[in-house]
Structure 1
Amino acid sequence: MNYITRCKKKLQTVFALMLLLWCIPAQSQINQTDTVDLFNLSLDQLMNMEISVASKTAMTQQESPAIVSVVTKQEIQKSGARDLVDILRLVPGIEFGVDVQGAVGITMRGNWGHEGKVLLMIDNQEMNELSYSTVLYGNHYSVNNINHIEIIRGPGSSIYGGFAELGVINIITESGNDLKGLQATAQVGSTKNSTSPQMSISLGNKTDDFEFSVSSSYMKGNRSDRDYVDVYGDSYNMTDQSNLESFQVNTGLKYKDLSLRFIYDNYKTRMRDLYDAILSKDYGLDYASILGEVKYDWKISDKVTLTPKINYISNQPWKTTEQPVGDDLSLVYNRTVTKIRPHLSTSIDFSEKLNLLAGLEYFTEKGKISSPDEGVYYDNSTEISFNNFSAFAQAIYETDFVNTIVGVRGDFHSEFGSAFAPRIGFTKVSNKFHAKLLYSMAFRSPGIENINFNAYLNGTQEPNIKPENTQVIELEAGYKITPDMIITANIYNVNLDKTIVYTYDYDLATEGYRNAGKSGSQGFELEFKINKAWGYTNMNYSYYSSKNINEVENYMVPSKESAMLGTPQHKISLNSSFNITNNFSINPTLTYLGERYAMTMYDEDLEDVLINKVDPITLLNLYFNYKNIFTKGLDVGFGAYNILDQDYDFIQPYYDWHAPYPGKTREFVAKISYKLDFE
């Protein structure tokens, strides 16, 4: 059965299931407000809050054509979250694993999403680095200036392109209109052996046609204060040898319909773990990025908006900051990648019920090796460049029976050719009930080093890597039990083809990337939310299975066909808040991770690495938050993370001989912030 035939059969299934939605009564009217206080949302306001991450058109969570989670400012601040990991771990289907060299990345619904499969954005700016397409987590992105986070638990390639294959995370920071003043925060965390200070400051305002915001943050800490033991049994204590230090500046300016955005992000790490064996000493790695955007929303009429914009990205990721010694010489890496991306899109409201979004995009990427001593690219040069042209379109049509969204994106890359990502979705909101039926195709575009190292791996010195293709079917249903209580469930089936994986060829004695066949997962996610005057409780349970789907050996657990390496099949999260007074709240959060499987040590014959089961673990946190203490705008908080002092490890979700990488022991946290209003 060829590719086109398979797509037709999937679409036939989608249209058949669509008939189920037509049995549901007509959609009720939803009242929207222009501004919402995200620190005092009722459940109704939360569900009706407009988001755009799934369609680039403002829609409510229930209407949005994706499985979407929204984390509000209230939930972030009351939970006492230390960084982005603490927030995302409370979202269904998301967990984290270790890559190499101390890097921690994300998994989505059981699938390893670290290398270019999950897109992270800050204020719609693409944060994935451009060499290997990775995003590094842990003491990296400050949470103190976040307005809310929009998360697609599923594909977004038809809108965003090749990093949005399995999910999209868009962090929306506070605008000048949100701030209207000055906000400063200081925090310190303390474990048995280390401290983790954080500082941030934000300034913003809006007057008439002009709006600005400037935020800056600094974070420092250790990945862990425990001992790391590699697969050979060698060990070292990670205190002061797993440092994580980040500095970020985010500036936004807007005058009428013209907006500018500038982000500087510098993430510094230290590590000794490398790949399988530990190094003779700890080394520094830097990940620096500069991002800029200029955008103009030209409102040609009440119904037509034309948006030209241009983005600039410069990365210097995985940079070694000191000369390695002895057997550690292979560490040297110092390369810069730049990307320039002009973009033109138009949004047309043909009527109140029909909207069309269409656009064109072009980018050119250039990689540069700083020193010839470091080596060359596969074509024996110290510079390499690629370009890509994209066209996309999306139509949203609302009827009394069902809302329909149809979209498509085509990418045409100078090296690996074309990639195609259509999607179709049906959403229905009726009184207390909502439903979604979604079918998407997505792709993961190879990054510069994926292409480069593929050429070395295949032995021809010419790359033959292709984009990873994904097909996803999702069905969601939700029921509002009362105005303060809702339950939502979804089922999904994710199929990856031409899966891009990292591997090592012993015959050629080289590492690289290749297309390894089929992978994916299927499962379900269940959420329950209640929001009352006494506070709120958000609970979720997620489950996946890779049985009869995953054929990639790098991800397999030999003793359990339904599980993927490193990621728990069962996960439970709880995020709750109890208002003791109007200003004082107690906020417990909990994450339960079911059994996981990890590479732990070599067997007795030193021929293979043993894969062992890691017992379930419960991460319990408790945070006390007091607002407006002594004076308006002064907030304090204190609490403990990992109260039970569990030995949580980040596990490598693919087969590359990296032992489990320890996380922190119990940490006590204290935080103080002050908001000075200009009004």
Structure 2
Amino acid sequence: MKKVSSVFFLLFIYLTLHAQQDSLKIKIDSLYQYYDMSLEELSHVKASGVSSELETFINSLITVASQKAISTRESPSAISLISEEDIKKSGARDLIDVLRLVPGFDFAYDGSNTIGIGIRGNWANEGKVLLQVDGVQMNEIFSGATQFGNNFPIASISRIEIIRGPGSAIYGGFAELGVINIITKNPDELNGGYITGTFGQMQHGSARRTLNLGIGKKVKAFEFSLTGVMGEGNRSDRTAFVRGVSTTISSRETMANNSATNPFFWNGKIGYKGFSLRLIYDNYKTDVLTLTDESGKRFLSRYTNALSAEAKYTWKASDKLSLTPSLFLTWQSPGVSNLSDSLNLIQDRGHRFQSSVTAAYDFSRKINMVTGATYFTDIGTNDADSITTISNYVSSIQYHTYALFSQLTIKHRIANIVLGARYENNSEFGDAFVPRIAFTKRVDRFHLKLLYSNSFRSPSIQNIARGVANTSGAIGSIGPEHTRVAEIELGYQLTRDILTTANFFNTSIKDPIVYISDLNLYTNFDKSGSQGVELEARMKKRWGSITANYSFYTVANQTRLQIYSTQQYIQGDTLQPSGGDASKSTLLAFPAHKITLTANVTLSKSLSISSSILWNSKRYGYDFQTSDQGTYEIYLKEDAPKLMSNIFLTWSSPVKGLDLGAGVFNLFNTRYNYMVPVGSRTAAPLPSGSREYTIRLSFLLKSKTPQS
């Protein structure tokens, strides 16, 4: 820990000293004249020719936190922005490679078949982080979960906008703790097509063989695009603890060529003037590593199988007013294959029908309001035309939700002010109201953000079907989860090349929705949450870039749920782990400290090298060990601090549009495990893969005569 902290500290000292040497040479005030421009005005400026620094500034305008284009330093949330260049040069294989370098983000294993996300120490997999692709929700509607690992088409991404904090006031009940907004290349950017093949090999088995494809074109007012990924992969080549689905078989089996993560994801769009229609199909196959068939000789496979469609039209009623009505439909039927005839696991089927309208009005260049209304219906059944609830069987679960939201943005010389709120009513569990307020101020090189938001997590189909009364004794079924987040962000731009930020946060969660795997039910507990700090320094020069960040969380001043706590597990007691407490300041699966360092260096016009280092402090989770009687017993495991590194080389060949990349991931061959973040008698940590050698070949074919 001391060595890693020293390296991090020395890097900050270097950046500070370097900035002092350059500070007299740099003037950044020229950027401010462009801040109040509309996107249309900015596009005219870009067309007339601007400096590379200003180009970067213009491209950093985002909408994820405010629905109004604004710079990341004045956006009313803690923001991370990841560019196409960052992704391409890093050689990132999937979203895990990208997101685990974001401050406060980490990953854990849900104990079934999903690697899910955690934010600031809180397990956030089931509907507590909203994942969007081009504005289309990717969370499945049964539990709200999103699966990570060799899934989404990484080569099609133009940029990723991330809110490291609440987003429910704008996006609703799946954006409680964060928002990940993936924006893919539009037809103008594609202007032709691309093909990217990736081959990865671990020490004892195949890692991935995937093909990313894309085509797109804009001709006058008409545009179309189609991007996607298909192929096969494996999570790991190490051994994992597995059990039989209907037997007592328990053993450790190899995951080499036996732990599928096979993507099949396609994203199509057609547009004409203000109208657009988008279709997204996702049929991601994974092996359920905790379940085998009756003989224990093969893993069961699960498919996401989801089709989503969104149609919307943006009508510019006047120079100040625009209206955007939209219609969203999703059909989902995740299921399990490789079943023997005697087994019958439930295959869920669900639908969401949603309509909404959003209005944006500019009172002036400095005052803007965005307001809207949404109505949707969720319907869930299973393959037997019924859903198993705690008390009985029902033909289906159906509920209706309507929501109203509004947000006012005021740019004032004293400070920028954002006031927003969302009201949502659900026919199953009632009302939710979440306000937000943000003050942001930028003075020369310094910026300040004061942020306060309420947020919530709506119970989903699966929560309601398997929801029970609060364990504290309250009468009633499952209810919404409510969160309060207070943040202070301080930032200082040392030069136009170097920016440092510090974000201090406090997250309090009331009535958290928790899944108890041993009992196969959901319930509301009392309270949970975390507090901490995220530090980041970025330097971008002509020769490349360096980014360093440090994340810390603690729960020492928060109420800890026992099911998340690091107490010794008592065999046979599903809800009340007791005995020795390994740590009173951390929770299962997630390290208190995380440090990342990434660097990209341009070696020549055609050659660049990128490297990343990630260090995390010790973690805790339950694992299985063999007893003297030959059976498996569960115990609390302390996982030592881990250091991981990747390195990737990118070469642009003399053949126009042809790029070759090669790299090594998990360079130190670290034995890293994705740990289970809740107390469970049935799940063990999921081992990550060994050292992986990766080759990527890309060919980009641009149209010779782009039209607009």
Same topology, TM > 0.5? yes
Give the letter aligned to residue 612 of structure 1.
K
Aligned counterparts of 1:554 and 1:459: Cα–Cα separation in 2: 14
SS of alignment partner, residue 76 of structure 1? helix
User: Paired residue for 1:399?
Assistant: 412
Cα shift readout 1:455-481 (whole Å, capped 9, x = no counterpart): 499899x96111000000011111110
* Conserved? CA contact 1:272–1:281, under 8 Å: no
User: Paired residue for 1:490?
Assistant: 503
1:315 aligns with 2:332: yes
User: Paired residue for 1:159?
Assistant: 170
SS of alignment partner, residue 87 of structure 2? helix
Aligned counterparts of 1:219 and 1:444: Cα–Cα separation in 2: 34
Given the alignment, which residue of 128, 134, 141 partners 2:145? 134
1:254 aligns with 2:271: yes
Cα shift readout 1:332-388 (whole Å, capped 9, x = no counterpart): 021111001000111111111111111110000101212259857855223221110
Stretch of structure 1 that moved more, 187-196 or 385-394: 187-196
1:626 aligns with 2:651: yes
User: Paired residue for 1:16?
Assistant: none
Give the letter aligned to residue 407 of structure 2.
Q
Q: Matches of residues 356-367 of structure 1 in structure 2 within 5 Å?
A: 356-367=369-380
Give the letter aligned to residue 662 of structure 2.
F
* Conserved? CA contact 2:267–2:279, under 8 Å: yes
How much has 1:602 moved relative to structure 2?
6.1
Aligned counterparts of 1:349 and 1:289: Cα–Cα separation in 2: 37
Q: Matches of residues 592-671 of structure 1 in structure 2 within 5 Å?
A: 592-601=615-624, 609-627=634-652, 629-657=653-681, 658-671=683-696
Given the alignment, which residue of 463, 481, 487 partners 1:450? 463
Aligned counterparts of 1:487 and 1:217: Cα–Cα separation in 2: 36
Number of aligned positions between the proteins: 642
* Conserved? CA contact 1:194–1:221, under 8 Å: no
Give the ranges of 4+ consecutive aligned residues of structure 1 lying more than 2 Å apart after TM superposition: 25-37, 40-48, 229-234, 277-281, 322-326, 372-382, 455-460, 601-609
Aligned counterparts of 1:94 and 1:374: Cα–Cα separation in 2: 34
1:556 aligns with 2:565: yes
Call closer, same or farther: CA 1:375–1:643 in 2, change over 3 Å: same
SS of alignment partner, residue 279 of structure 2? strand
Given the alignment, which residue of 231, 239, 257 partners 1:227? 239
User: Paired residue for 1:95?
Assistant: 106
SS of alignment partner, residue 401 of structure 1? coil
Gaps of 5+ in 2: 1-28, 244-248, 567-580
Aligned counterparts of 1:299 and 1:426: Cα–Cα separation in 2: 29
Aligned counterparts of 2:54 and 2:255: Cα–Cα separation in 1: 46
Give the letter aligned to residue 552 of structure 2.
Y
Stretch of structure 1 that moved more, 157-166 or 28-37: 28-37
Given the alignment, which residue of 312, 332, 339 partners 2:345? 332
Aligned counterparts of 1:28 and 1:186: Cα–Cα separation in 2: 42
Give the letter aligned to residue 186 of structure 2.
S
Aligned counterparts of 1:137 and 1:42: Cα–Cα separation in 2: 34
Aligned counterparts of 2:702 and 2:258: Cα–Cα separation in 1: 41
Given the alignment, which residue of 33, 45, 66 partners 1:29? 33
User: Paired residue for 1:501?
Assistant: 514
How much has 1:609 moved relative to structure 2?
3.2
Given the alignment, which residue of 547, 551, 563 partners 1:538? 547
Given the alignment, which residue of 176, 190, 202 partners 2:214? 202
* Conserved? CA contact 1:472–1:495, under 8 Å: yes
* Conserved? CA contact 2:109–2:674, under 8 Å: yes
* Conserved? CA contact 1:475–1:491, under 8 Å: yes
* Conserved? CA contact 1:117–1:165, under 8 Å: yes
User: Paired residue for 2:595?
Assistant: 572
Q: Identity, % of aligned pairs?
A: 36
Aligned counterparts of 1:81 and 1:436: Cα–Cα separation in 2: 31
Call closer, same or farther: CA 1:115–1:43 in 2, change over 3 Å: farther
User: Paired residue for 1:440?
Assistant: 453
Aligned counterparts of 2:672 and 2:283: Cα–Cα separation in 1: 27
User: Paired residue for 1:241?
Assistant: 258
How much has 1:281 moved relative to structure 2?
3.1
1:526 aligns with 2:535: yes
* Conserved? CA contact 1:139–1:219, under 8 Å: no
Cα shift readout 1:173-210 (whole Å, capped 9, x = no counterpart): 00001111111111100112222101011111112211
Stretch of structure 1 that moved more, 447-456 or 651-660: 447-456
Aligned counterparts of 1:140 and 1:27: Cα–Cα separation in 2: 38
How much has 1:233 moved relative to structure 2?
7.6
How much has 1:548 moved relative to structure 2?
2.2
Give the letter aligned to residue 665 of structure 2.
Y
Cα shift readout 1:208-249 (whole Å, capped 9, x = no counterpart): 211211112113111110011369982100123211111111
Cα shift readout 1:50-88 (whole Å, capped 9, x = no counterpart): 111111111110111000000000000000000110000
Give the letter aligned to residue 641 of structure 1.
F
Cα shift readout 1:107-132 (whole Å, capped 9, x = no counterpart): 01110010010010000100000111
* Conserved? CA contact 1:42–1:531, under 8 Å: no
Give the letter aligned to residue 619 of structure 1.
M
Per the normalisation by structure 2, the TM-score is: 0.86
Call closer, same or farther: CA 1:120–1:573 in 2, change over 3 Å: same
Give the letter aligned to residue 639 of structure 2.
V
Aligned counterparts of 1:468 and 1:117: Cα–Cα separation in 2: 9
SS of alignment partner, residue 51 of structure 1? coil
Aligned counterparts of 1:279 and 1:403: Cα–Cα separation in 2: 61
Call closer, same or farther: CA 1:631–1:676 in 2, change over 3 Å: same
Given the alignment, which residue of 486, 490, 511 partners 1:473? 486
SS of alignment partner, residue 525 of structure 1? strand
How much has 1:594 moved relative to structure 2?
1.2
Given the alignment, which residue of 81, 91, 94 partners 1:83? 94
SS of alignment partner, residue 98 of structure 2? helix
Gaps of 5+ in 1: 1-24
How much has 1:409 moved relative to structure 2?
0.3
How much has 1:583 moved relative to structure 2?
1.6
Stretch of structure 1 that moved more, 450-459 or 340-349: 450-459
Call closer, same or farther: CA 1:58–1:323 in 2, change over 3 Å: same
How much has 1:417 moved relative to structure 2?
0.5
How much has 1:143 moved relative to structure 2?
0.5
How much has 1:607 moved relative to structure 2?
11
Give the letter aligned to residue 615 of structure 2.
Y
Aligned counterparts of 1:641 and 1:334: Cα–Cα separation in 2: 36
How much has 1:524 moved relative to structure 2?
0.4
Q: Matches of residues 279-294 of structure 1 in structure 2 within 5 Å?
A: 281-294=298-311
Aligned counterparts of 1:165 and 1:274: Cα–Cα separation in 2: 31
User: Paired residue for 1:218?
Assistant: 230
Stretch of structure 1 that moved more, 251-260 or 109-118: 251-260
Cα shift readout 1:552-585 (whole Å, capped 9, x = no counterpart): 1111112211101000111111221111101200
How much has 1:421 moved relative to structure 2?
1.1
User: Paired residue for 1:15?
Assistant: none
SS of alignment partner, residue 175 of structure 2? coil
How much has 1:543 moved relative to structure 2?
0.5
User: Paired residue for 1:21?
Assistant: none
Aligned counterparts of 1:394 and 1:254: Cα–Cα separation in 2: 28
- Alignment root-mean-square deviation, CA: 2.7
User: Paired residue for 2:77?
Assistant: 66
How much has 1:288 moved relative to structure 2?
1.0
How much has 1:643 moved relative to structure 2?
0.7
